[in-house]
Structure 1
Amino acid sequence: MSYYSDTSSVDDELESLRWYHFDLSRHAAEAILLSNGKDGSYLLRNSHRGPGSFALSVRASDSVKHFHVTRNSTGYAFGFNEFASLKDFVHHFANQPLLGSETGTLIVLKFPYPWRVEEPSIYESVRVHTVMQAGRTESDLVASAPSLGTKEGYLIKLGAFVKNWKQRWFTLNRNELKYFKDKTFDEPIRTLDLTACSAIQFDYSQDKVNCFCLVFPERTFYLCAKTGVEADEWIRIIRWKLSQMKKTR
């Protein structure tokens, strides 16, 4: 009986891989690896080609390359190579570079990108990724590393001089809170460094509901969300980040 005659064994192996991201899309994989990964970060996801087809997404410098991997009756096929298991595949290419593009870019699988990390309960509704230390296998994941929480959405902001409210698109990544004129704009109006933020809390001083404020040395920013739940999510994730920053100071 071949290694892969037992379908449950195959499924068990996939389930055991912390860097298998199930039905993550190509674009989402690129966004994750470019935002939170590093050169050599990789993940496995299902391919649109159907059952038994996977895509290995690997970050190489400032781009992400995708490689087709096929599961057959004897193992996993990649190009002209075949491996009995996915771990064999990764161990092989941890030392043997992949040819990443027509330009001859060489890629080595260094940092497995986990699909889930344990977080405080306040993070349950927020997509969170984790930092990884240098290593070549999934055993090198750092479970207790500082997390990179991300969030985005529309909020209305009170102007600094002209006291009117305007809708802005906000993005939260690492320790930076940026706001843009609209979701379609590439350049932010301003980037707020959360390392300088001393507090965030609900605010009831305005004539609007679902408001909160961020206190900086030079200014207090007043923001309002569409719902109380949304405002609470922003407060919780930013407050959690502030608490983590205090621990590392």
Structure 2
Amino acid sequence: MTEQYLEIHKANIFDKGFTVIPSVFSEEEIEKITETIQNADTSGGNFRKSDDLFAVRQFLKEIPEVKELVFNDTVKTIVRVLFGEKYVAVKSIYFDKPETSNWYVAYHQDLTISVDKKLDMQGFGPWTTKKNQFAVQPPLPILENICTIRIHLDDTDENNGALKVVPGSHAKGIYRPETIDWNTETEEICNVEKGGIMIMKPLTLHGSNRTTDGRRRRVIHIEFSDLELPQELQWSERMN
């Protein structure tokens, strides 16, 4: 995977707010990742289990054995070339929507970051707290700085809940979904094959339709930034 090839994807992220890169992980690498997740102790509070969803918050902290598998040489190169030399992981989630799950996710932007404490700070808010984990909407420049990698452990297309996005919406600040003008905006479905990744800016409007063919969808979601937060505030999941 050459830097010249990656520059094309870097341009896609700048222009459209997302890109899809195939074959980042081999079949063997995907098997090792899924085995590591299956063998993890899921009794902690960051593991959510229901008939519709299995999810892990603070994924890289909860299952540290998976880090060296997720950050293979290709991913390290992608982060360096597409994002920058100083970008580090600041948030991670794993979710598994099983065959019986039929969730619909409306269009939205990812507007919060995970931090270590709640502080009264200008430009930060509203705040939410779940199980002693703090999330807050930060000032716009922090959101604009973040890049997200979504690692697909299964083939994902329009029939099993692939993300749909509004190209270019990442460049329009806080964009309320109810104000989308479909006379001027377009929708694109982001099909990703098993072992591929989707990269997106959190401000890109995105959602997903219900599954229609009963196929499983497992995704690892990792957010990256190279910013230090102000005052004593810290990223709750920051890791190099």
TM-score relative to the length of structure 2: 0.20
Structure scoring higher RCO (CA < 8 A, sep ≥ 6) equals 2
TM-score relative to the length of structure 1: 0.20
